[in-house]
A and B are shown apart, each in its own frame.
Chain A
Amino acid sequence: MDEFFAGLVAAGQELTGLRARIAAVTSADVRRALARARPEAADLMALLSPAAEDFLEDMALRAEELTLRNFGCTVLLYAPLYLSDACENECRYCGFRASRGQARRKLSLAEIEESADVLARQGIREVLVLTGEAPGATPWPYLEEAFSLLRQRFASVGIEIFPLDDAGYQRAACAGADSLTLYQETYDRAVYAELHPRGPKRDFDFRLDAPMRGARAGFRAVTVGALLGLAEPRSDALLCALHARSLQLAHPSIEVGIAAPRLTAAGGGFAAVHPVPTRLFVQILLAYRLFLPRASLTVSTREPPALRDSLLGLGVTRMSAGSQTEVGGYLRGAASAPQFAVHDARSVSEVVAAIRARRMQPEFKNWERPK
């Protein structure tokens, strides 16, 4: 069992201790962490601590330098595409949870093509496919056709769907998916159990191991994330970053990424138990960048325009744009219910203009299938 997972297993029983250690970090610890060229786990803990709140500007300067050297002045824009919102899970914070009475929708292949055309006309060349977890609604032949269709229209097809087993990820990769995103939601087992009372998503460990399975199956990029606000955020961010690092160590050829979704209202009124103020959110992003200089860092349209724009150059390298989080959201006609509230409703061209105004270059393509 590698060091990270051993740590996580231990953390399941000792998160209280971990949180106490984070809270006890001193300014001297933070200064040492900032001085280290290659921060280790203890340094990451310092960067996420309350003591580091006084060092945000120093962290930002360092993050800016690291991002500039590793990524230049570029940010990649992509769009999500929801195929189906049928779901057997009962995630308390999600707009798609099973007990919600709304009508469920699934895109036909023709509708997937039409949605793809809409996105492609906006300049999108990288799409992230999402579904609820209901294999009956989205059986393998459907998924394979969808990935295969999208692969012809987009340079990169990412999937953010329910965790698959080894064979499932191999099947998805063969069908045309090349990148995988999966959020553990929270690394706090107790909170996880309480937030996922029913459905296959109850299985914490199956989900936790999924990014590694995806890496083994040949996905060229794997992104992890914690949904900040579900549990104590500093420890969730710490464990998420360690998860990303362990993926890097185990699979050095893969582009490991980290996303920082912050819980927003899901139309059913789930309020974050640990709301993350903007200052802490920025601190987490900066800590991610300092600890993982080569990882892509994604901020979605959950965040408002002014904040997203301010984060450019501080470490964010990927942004969704023109996002619709409802099934059929890119098509004309009645909209389904969204998975989460979008606070940056700008079109792709508006986001492009905002990026250029910050003297940065928006990119749409950063992958060419070599096979």
Chain B
Amino acid sequence: MHSDALVLSGRAFRSRLLTGTGKYPSREMIPRVIDASRSEIMTVALRRVDFSSGGDNILDAIPRHVTLLPNTSGARTAAEAVRLARIAREAGCGDFVKIEVVVDDVFLMPDNHETLRATEILAKDGFVVLPYVSPDPVVARQLEDAGAAAVMPLGSPIGSNRGLRTRELLRIIIENARLPVIVDAGIGKPSHAAEAMEMGAAAVLVNTAIASAADPVGMARAFALAVDAGRLAFRCGCGAERERAVASSPLTGFLRDM
């Protein structure tokens, strides 16, 4: 297996770019986005999955080799998220779940407390839980203790494309993390994704920025390149930020020649 695999609950993935299935102009684009991005995990909102037979089922558009990450969007409490997760598993969507409990339809901020409660229940129930939260370092640690497989703090509000507005908190979470940190929501440009990876995020999740691009397939490839670049930079040791410019030959450089 790839030596720099992303490992979630014992399962290894080559790609550190997670993608979504919402907002596309056509579902037929989804396999091409997967191809271009090499993404191996794709979110799908359960509220959009038509489980009735003969229904127009979005799951049919997702290539078989991709791991489904059903999300519980629409849930307003832990109990509702748990119920939706179980519906998904019973319907054959696998045991990965992204917990998304949003009680604010204007800014789409997740409810960290309800998300933590749902994580506790679903982790005990054998799910691979990826909770989507506001970046609260304390809650991030609690989610790890509750059995989450990763932590997914937002970069900025869903769909806003504003990048890593929450970067200071993301840094703290990444530094303290014992589990993969996947930055989810608000990533609007490949450079945002690269920045998250340079910071040490384990992966990023991008939906709106790809689906709403003029050329979603091209944008998916751009994001894949950015995630690779950011990850490589992180592994090679990004330069530390300094307050002032520092000459490459500092004042004591002369000692080397003596």
B-binding residues in A (CB < 8 A): 68-74, 123, 125, 155, 220, 248, 252-256, 294, 356, 359-361, 363-368, 370-371
Residues of the B chain whose Cβ atoms lie less than 8 Å from the Cβ of A365: 47-50, 55
**Given A359-B25, A370-B80, is A364 in contact with B87 using a C-beta cutoff of 8 Å?**
no
The reply to whether B212 and A72 contact each other, CB–CB distance below 8 Å, is yes
The reply to whether B47 and A368 contact each other, CB–CB distance below 8 Å, is yes
In the complex, what's the smallest C-beta–C-beta distance from B25 to chain A, in angstroms?
4
B74 contacts partner chain A, Cβ-Cβ < 8 Å:
yes
A145 and B245 CA atoms in complex are apart in Å by: 74
In the complex, what's the smallest C-beta–C-beta distance from A151 to chain B, in angstroms?
13
**Given A69-B161, A69-B212, A73-B23, is A294 in contact with B47 using a C-beta cutoff of 8 Å?**
no
List the count of A-B residue pairs having beta carbons below 8 Å apart: 89
Which one, B99-107, B128-136, B227-235, is touching chain A?
Answer: B99-107
CB-nearest residue of chain A to B76:
A253
B211 contacts partner chain A, Cβ-Cβ < 8 Å:
yes
A60 and B247 CA atoms in complex are apart in Å by: 51
A360 and B25 CA atoms in complex are apart in Å by: 4
B42 contacts partner chain A, Cβ-Cβ < 8 Å:
no
**Given A70-B159, A361-B24, A368-B74, is A125 in contact with B50 using a C-beta cutoff of 8 Å?**
yes
In the complex, what's the smallest C-beta–C-beta distance from B71 to chain A, in angstroms?
11
CB-nearest residue of chain A to B81:
A370
Give chain A's interface secondary structure class. Answer: loop
Residues of B within 8 A of A (CB-CB), count: 36
Give chain B's interface secondary structure class. Answer: loop
In the complex, what's the smallest C-beta–C-beta distance from B188 to chain A, in angstroms?
9
Residues of the A chain whose Cβ atoms lie less than 8 Å from the Cβ of B56: 123, 364
A-binding residues in B (CB < 8 A): 22-27, 46-50, 52, 55-56, 72, 74-76, 79-81, 83-84, 87, 102-106, 108, 159-161, 208, 211-212
**Given A364-B50, A370-B75, is A253 in contact with B103 using a C-beta cutoff of 8 Å?**
yes
A69 and B160 CA atoms in complex are apart in Å by: 7
CB-nearest residue of chain A to B20:
A72
A41 and B80 CA atoms in complex are apart in Å by: 35
Rank and list the top 4 A-B pairs by shortest CB-CB distance, nearest first: A72-B23, A370-B80, A73-B25, A253-B103
**Given A72-B212, A370-B83, is A294 in contact with B48 using a C-beta cutoff of 8 Å?**
no
Residues of the A chain whose Cβ atoms lie less than 8 Å from the Cβ of B83: 370-371
A274 and B242 CA atoms in complex are apart in Å by: 65
In the complex, what's the smallest C-beta–C-beta distance from A292 to chain B, in angstroms?
9
In the complex, what's the smallest C-beta–C-beta distance from A258 to chain B, in angstroms?
13
Q: Per a CB cutoff under 8 Å, which of A72, A123, A367 touches B22?
A: A72
Interface centre among B23, B76, B102 (most CB of A within 10 A): B23
**Given A69-B159, A368-B84, A370-B75, is A252 in contact with B103 using a C-beta cutoff of 8 Å?**
yes
The reply to whether B50 and A155 contact each other, CB–CB distance below 8 Å, is yes
A245 and B103 CA atoms in complex are apart in Å by: 16
Q: What are 17 of the A-B contact pairs (CB < 8 Å)?
A: A71-B23, A72-B211, A73-B24, A73-B211, A74-B24, A248-B106, A253-B76, A253-B102, A253-B103, A256-B105, A294-B105, A359-B25, A361-B26, A365-B49, A365-B50, A365-B55, A367-B47
